[in-house]
Structure 1
């Protein structure tokens, strides 16, 4: 079977952030080693090579807060537009402060923009995001972006929500705020998982906020599906239930990424469709450094990595870590309308060992 091309290229721009989110450690980092980052010229070559592999592919701009570096941010989005690629981005909204910036985002920024919100309640968002006033800035950014988009415009403007113990029973009000009061295109649900960039042995947020009753969560989501006509995917909903059933009973959740607990079902397929390129130009099939990657030193290396990484895919087919529920990597999409084929690759063959180490608006759910 011929290897299908990747669907998404995730490209990281920076490591710092201007919020202090409890579920992320990136704000504790900095860009002191920026001199080692992938430069604009080489980044353009990587994007062009990806376009050659899949002219219909999508590029996702990643951070930190990627909009803290506007020159890099708009260089990527403009390059994607020039190459005919779809560009996507999740932002915290703090840098979209005025009409001019919002208009620039619509004119030359990503084709799909998601603003992160942890809740429709300002106090909960601000507390978990670690900065007072963060909610107001995020909502203001959404309103500015929606106002800047011309009627019938094709820029997707969404909200990316985090679901955890303090807000899961309020999802119906959350949907109403996002879809009806703000008028955004979608509320995309991301679920609690080990903290991004976890730097310590203990992950306090993951451990403290996992008490989500899977039965009640599914009941609430089904009610939202009926009320807002979301067209949700029942397979995805089953996996959400399974995920939180496992997480709620997890005996070592305080270890976060170091937890030995695994989901009983394999719910990730990032290795079938994604390439993640980090700040230094190292390509991987997921965000984790647990699997081998390859440095993209010269033209042709992206194709080489994708073609030669089958031994990595074989190992990843047995990975059942909690991050499999992430919006970026989960096998099942939340809506039936956006559902991908069940499998892009043939069934995994047992791996005998590692041979070598390679140094937008049709539905309202997410």
Structure 2
């Protein structure tokens, strides 16, 4: 029997996927300069994987890995609240951990915040580009976006306190040229003013491809690696972050790799690559797009398989070693992303340990 051949139960020689990334929409209500989702409109939604199909995929994933985690993806996924809470609710019903990153604009009331911490994801991250309102609003393309994001964090914190929920409330920060020397006040604002549980750092990557000019990446990719690493180390010491030195070395390598690149305006179409291979999405992740096609990466350059029936997810995972072999040679800039990088940013808990799951609900 080959290593990829399906058996009656899960093949013990191949670890099951740990994370399933499920895209539910492809539009946004902000106009972020570093993102392309607000350029799309879900015009083809009639052909998306329907609610029953998403539930089928989630249930199959739970059978493959009862301790797995699901990441709700968009666009701004909270623009489709019925779909959003259906995914979160089904995750809870089958015992999966659910995670989500949103821009905070739909969390405007106590009632919505309470619904989020009791019915929504177990881990909720609000995107924030800076502790400076002007920088966040300018790069997010909509005046007032900073105030809405901060209000969302505060509403979620208050709702968690009222309800006794165990939901984690994080901030996800985008790091680029204009804020990479300001991480200490950024951490101070997030941890001591907003009082979020954590600030996660995501580093600027391309957003656009061969046919579209990536203006933001071209203009804002330049970061001084010495200044950035020194700033992160100061934050680690001041706030007791317990950062992983291997991750920090990868951050330096990533910034230096970008500096050695060219044709930044081509975005993903540029030839720039990281010096070292730092991704392992192919060992632990499945990405399921709007149409129900499964891949081991968000990139469509690698083979995908439509999930049309029960058992298709498992078959794909067990028969994907050709994709894994190809991806082990990939050094694209997305390797630094939270979603795919091999090394976690902190030493404890262990890299990519899953959040504590709430008990499965009836």
The answer as to 2:305 corresponding to 1:299 is no
Question: What is residue 48 of structure 1 aligned with on the other side?
Answer: 59
The answer as to 2:167 corresponding to 1:155 is yes
Aligned equivalents of 1:193, 1:230: Cα separation in 2: 24
Is the 2:209–2:266 contact (alpha carbons within 8 Å) kept by the matching residues of 1? no
Aligned equivalents of 1:317, 1:222: Cα separation in 2: 30
Question: What is residue 360 of structure 2 aligned with on the other side?
Answer: none
Question: What is residue 247 of structure 1 aligned with on the other side?
Answer: 258
Aligned equivalents of 2:232, 2:350: Cα separation in 1: 18
Question: What is residue 4 of structure 2 aligned with on the other side?
Answer: none
The change in CA–CA distance for 1:194 and 1:40 in structure 2 (over 3 A counts) is: same
**What number of residue pairs does the alignment pair up?**
342
Aligned equivalents of 2:214, 2:42: Cα separation in 1: 23
Q: Deviations over 1:32-89 (max 9, x none)?
A: 1111011111111100000000000000000000000000000000000000000000
The answer as to 2:45 corresponding to 1:34 is yes
Aligned equivalents of 2:299, 2:22: Cα separation in 1: 14
1:198: how far off?
A: 4.5
Question: What is residue 186 of structure 2 aligned with on the other side?
Answer: 174
Name which of 302, 320, 327 aligns with 2:338. Answer: 327
The answer as to 2:299 corresponding to 1:288 is yes
Is the 1:332–1:339 contact (alpha carbons within 8 Å) kept by the matching residues of 2? no
User: TM-score scaled by structure 2?
Assistant: 0.92
Q: Which ranges of structure 2 fall in alignment gaps of 5 or more residues?
A: 1-11, 357-362
Is the 1:231–1:337 contact (alpha carbons within 8 Å) kept by the matching residues of 2? yes
Is the 1:24–1:198 contact (alpha carbons within 8 Å) kept by the matching residues of 2? no
User: TM-score scaled by structure 1?
Assistant: 0.91
Aligned equivalents of 1:340, 1:113: Cα separation in 2: 19
Question: What is residue 20 of structure 2 aligned with on the other side?
Answer: 9
Aligned equivalents of 1:273, 1:37: Cα separation in 2: 24
Moved over 3 A (4+): 197-201, 338-341
Q: Which ranges of structure 1 fall in alignment gaps of 5 or more residues?
A: 342-359, 362-366
Q: Deviations over 1:234-259 (max 9, x none)?
A: 00000000000111221222211011
1:199: how far off?
A: 7.5
Question: What is residue 319 of structure 2 aligned with on the other side?
Answer: 308
Name which of 226, 233, 244 aligns with 2:237. Answer: 226
Q: Deviations over 1:211-249 (max 9, x none)?
A: 100011000000000000000000000000000011122
Aligned equivalents of 1:20, 1:338: Cα separation in 2: 35
Aligned equivalents of 1:310, 1:183: Cα separation in 2: 43
Aligned equivalents of 1:201, 1:37: Cα separation in 2: 25
Q: Map residues 83-102 of structure 1 onto 2, 5 A cutoff.
A: 83-102=94-113
3-state SS of 1:75 partner: helix
Greater displacement, 256-265 / 246-255: 246-255
Question: What is residue 176 of structure 2 aligned with on the other side?
Answer: 164
3-state SS of 1:149 partner: helix
Is the 1:38–1:280 contact (alpha carbons within 8 Å) kept by the matching residues of 2? yes
Question: What is residue 266 of structure 1 aligned with on the other side?
Answer: 277
Name which of 139, 160, 163 aligns with 2:150. Answer: 139
Aligned equivalents of 1:92, 1:206: Cα separation in 2: 20
Aligned equivalents of 2:127, 2:348: Cα separation in 1: 23
Question: What is residue 107 of structure 1 aligned with on the other side?
Answer: 118
Aligned residues: CA RMSD: 1.3
Question: What is residue 203 of structure 2 aligned with on the other side?
Answer: 191
Is the 1:36–1:280 contact (alpha carbons within 8 Å) kept by the matching residues of 2? yes
Aligned equivalents of 2:244, 2:263: Cα separation in 1: 30
The answer as to 2:74 corresponding to 1:63 is yes
